[in-house]
Structures are given as structure tokens and as C-alpha cells.
Amino acid sequence: MGIGTSIFLLAVGAILTFALNASIGGLDLNVVGWILMAAGVVGLIMTTLVWGRRRQVVATTEEPVEYRRVEERRDVAPPL
């Protein structure tokens, strides 16, 4: 589940819990909203953990093979 999906679940859950005052035969929309918000929070935490592991920087001790100094000359016309 991505960050966007998690935020969407949080938003829909909050709307069902706090904004709507309706009931559908035997289904409590407040409970459904809380469940969706919980799923969104869990998804957001899991996504953060997965992306956090992927973005670890691996340091290498090798130096670049070659360094070059680049100079820009302004007296030569650019190629066409």
C-alpha cells in the first residue's frame, strides 16, 4: 500500500466517522470509519518502514577513476 492509498483511507475513514450521521441497515459507519483510519495509519507506517530501508545510503571507499577539470571558453562560437 502506498502513501497515497494510506492517506486516502485516512480521509475516507475520517469522513465516515466525523462527518456523516447516517446508518445503513445493521452497519455502523462510525466503526467502519475507525477501521479505515486504522488501516490507513498501519499502511502509512508500513510504507514508511519499507521506503526507509530502500533509501539507505551505501558508502563506498573507492575513489573515482579520473578527475577532469572543465573550463568554459567564451571566445569560441557554439556549434550549430
Question: Which residue ranges make up each domain of the chain?
Answer: 3-54
Most trustworthy range by pLDDT among 3-7, 37-41, 45-49: 37-41
Contact 37, 14 (CB under 8 A): yes
Full-prediction pTM beyond 0.75? no
Contact 72, 34 (CB under 8 A): no
pLDDT of residue 35: 94
pLDDT of residue 61: 67
pLDDT of residue 54: 65
**Residue in 49, 55, 47 with CA at minimum distance from that of residue 2:** 47
What 3-state DSSP class applies to 27?
strand
C-alpha cell belonging to residue 27: 452497519
Q: Encode pLDDT of 8-25 as tens digits.
A: 999 999 999 999 887 788
pLDDT of residue 37: 95
pLDDT of residue 55: 60
Chain-centre distance for alpha carbon 10:
14
pLDDT of residue 41: 94
